[in-house]
């Protein structure tokens, strides 16, 4: 599947603020959550609805609703947590799991140290959250961990990505649809996205 890139003017505006090195921790965190909300709108365009009857202040009517219990979100720690609030603002009853990965600075490959998911997650559509797709290693590890426990419907939301990482995911997991707000140029010699937005985790939590 080709990645779906959001091109709405508001998305571009918010992304420009996010990238700016002068944007503070509070602003960075808030914008990341807002962009996650916009990505979630796009990722749920194909969501099934069920028929129900409601009563407005004027009359009874037939309406359609989303079964929020059908969804689970899996942020990749720690940076992925910045996107959870934006998701839960619009799907508050969705389940949330967590996967902890850290990158070996020499090999650039991920090592998993934590994996906790809601009961029955294999029957849900699972949407992985991570601000950046760089080498694609963490994304592929998270996807494979879900497939290993029987999850069949997986989507991936990222703020930015690069061709190298996208190609790896498409090669190893061609069934996973990716949504992002930008496909950047490339990775530098240290494995950082160019032009990117810096280290998302550090900027979210003010650790640098």
The domain spanning residue 16 has which CATH number?
A: 3.40.50.2020
* 132 lies in some domain: yes
Q: Closest by alpha carbon to 72, among 20, 13, 119?
A: 119
Q: Closest by alpha carbon to 147, among 179, 121, 109?
A: 121
Give every CB contact of residue 172 below 8 A, 6+ residues apart in sequence.
136, 140, 143, 144
Q: Are 32 and 202 in contact (CB under 8 A)?
A: no
**Among the options 25, 107, 111, 207, which is catalytic?**
107
**Among the options 37, 44, 69, 103, which is catalytic?**
103
User: How many Cα atoms are found within 13 Å in the side-chain-facing hemisphere of 114?
Assistant: 12
**Among the options 37, 78, 168, 199, which is catalytic?**
199
* 135 lies in some domain: yes
* 40 lies in some domain: yes
Whether 168 is a known active-site residue: answer no
pTM of the model: 0.91
* 70 lies in some domain: yes
Domains in the chain: how many in total?
1
* 171 lies in some domain: yes
Residues of the chain with confidence (pLDDT) below 70:
108, 208
* 55 lies in some domain: no
Whether 107 is a known active-site residue: answer yes
**Among the options 37, 44, 168, 202, which is catalytic?**
202
Cα separation, 8 vs 37, whole angstroms: 13
Cα separation, 76 vs 53, whole angstroms: 38
What is residue 139's predicted lDDT score, i.e. its pLDDT? 94
What is residue 127's predicted lDDT score, i.e. its pLDDT? 97
What is residue 206's predicted lDDT score, i.e. its pLDDT? 79
Residue 80 sits in which domain range?
4-49+62-205
* 57 lies in some domain: no
Whether 202 is a known active-site residue: answer yes
* 94 lies in some domain: yes
């Amino acid at each position: 599947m080709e990645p779906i890139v959001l091109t709405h003017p508001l998305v571009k505006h918010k992304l420009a603020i996010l990238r700016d090195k002068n944007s503070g921790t509070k602003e960075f965190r808030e914008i990341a959550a807002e962009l996650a909300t916009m990505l979630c709108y796009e990722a749920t365009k194909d969501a099934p609805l069920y028929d129900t009857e409601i009563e407005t202040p004027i009359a009874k009517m037939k309406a359609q609703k989303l079964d929020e219990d059908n969804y689970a979100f899996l942020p990749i720690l720690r940076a992925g947590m910045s996107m959870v609030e934006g998701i839960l603002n619009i799907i508050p009853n969705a389940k949330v799991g967590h996967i902890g990965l850290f990158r070996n600075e020499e090999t650039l490959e991920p090592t998993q140290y934590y994996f906790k998911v809601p009961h029955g997650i294999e029957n849900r559509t699972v949407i992985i959250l991570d601000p950046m797709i760089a080498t694609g290693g963490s994304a592929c590890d998270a996807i494979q961990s879900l497939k290993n426990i029987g999850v069949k419907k997986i989507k991936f939301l990222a703020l930015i990505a690069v061709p190298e990482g996208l190609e790896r995911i498409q090669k190893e997991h061609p069934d996973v649809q990716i949504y992002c707000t930008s496909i950047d140029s490339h990775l530098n010699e240290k494995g950082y996205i160019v032009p990117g937005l810096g280290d998302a985790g550090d900027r979210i939590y003010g650790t640098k």
